[in-house]
Structure 1
Amino acid sequence: MPATPYLIPLHRAGSPEIGYITSTQFAENIPFDIKRVFWTQATPPEVERGHHANLATEEVLVALNGSIKVMTDTGREKQEFDLTHPQQGLYIPAMCWTELRFSEGATALCLTSTNFSEADYIRDYKRFLQLAAHIEL
């Protein structure tokens, strides 16, 4: 059965007096070993990012500051998520089309299950839908 996107709580320690640390150390619920970490910042609010799916890569996306509106599409189901705080990540399975909108000043952190490979990217939505139609339920 194909995986679907879902929200993951991340562990936070600290207080308003000293600040907070949010960590993946206790995030046993991240469903993969992390191979790569990258972040995206300074994306103008009028720019929509994403517009791709990955053949094999799984991701967890976190809004470190600001907010990110994420539309996900598995080829069978579309969902919308609002990432508004760094104590929550969005699990994005392989073969899931995404489109992202960043608020002013937002920074996105992405944890991935693979290293970067352009061959893993599907950048054509029609091709994505054709491939997604062949995934067993």
Structure 2
Amino acid sequence: MKGEIKNIRLINIPKVQDPRGNLAIIEKNVIPFQIKRVYYLYDVPSGAYRGGHAHKKLYQVLIALSGSFDVILDDGKDKMKITLNKPNEGLLIPTGIWRELENFSSGSVCLVLASEVFDENDYIRNYNDFVSMKRS
């Protein structure tokens, strides 16, 4: 599992500004993988967190469509926290990165663009297993 903190990056999502409201555009040249699944998190209760896993081969882009939340990222050696709060900015998370989402503001919506369809075998849901896999 080769994911490292240094490979995590923010992606600028092009937007068209208009007095009637802004328009964000996600096309294949913006996201560095073919999107095979899209889902979103919403109505996350105050104090709750999401994530708590890593992926073996799946890449993701997280976007705060509304509100804000923190993403805690861990490659088994280094950790970082990024706050997402702009709907025209996506967080690219490569394979092999443990992620936790927390501090959801009221009304926040997290859009997730994934490189693979759902496959339970792609998930690492135990942190100790994740660290062991990273070391081997």
With structure 2 as the length reference, what TM-score do the two structures score? 0.91
Distance between the aligned counterparts of 1:104 and 1:75, measured in 2? Answer: 31
Residue in 1 that maps onto 2:16: 13
Please list every run of at least 4 consecutive aligned residues from structure 1 whose deviation after the TM superposition is greater than 6 angstroms.
none
Aligned-pair distance for 1:29?
4.4
Distance between the aligned counterparts of 1:122 and 1:90, measured in 2? Answer: 20
1:102-134 superposed Cα distances (whole Å, 9 cap, x missing partner): 111110000000000111111000000011123
Residue in 1 that maps onto 2:133: 131
Aligned-pair distance for 1:76?
2.3
Distance between the aligned counterparts of 2:37 and 2:82, measured in 1? Answer: 23
Distance between the aligned counterparts of 1:120 and 1:45, measured in 2? Answer: 29
Aligned residues: 132
Aligned-pair distance for 1:75?
1.1
Q: Percent identity?
A: 36
Segments of structure 2 that go 5 or more residues without pairing to the other structure are none
The DSSP-based 3-state class of the residue aligned with 1:114 is: coil
Segments of structure 1 that go 5 or more residues without pairing to the other structure are none
The DSSP-based 3-state class of the residue aligned with 1:79 is: strand
With structure 1 as the length reference, what TM-score do the two structures score? 0.91
Distance between the aligned counterparts of 1:77 and 1:34, measured in 2? Answer: 28
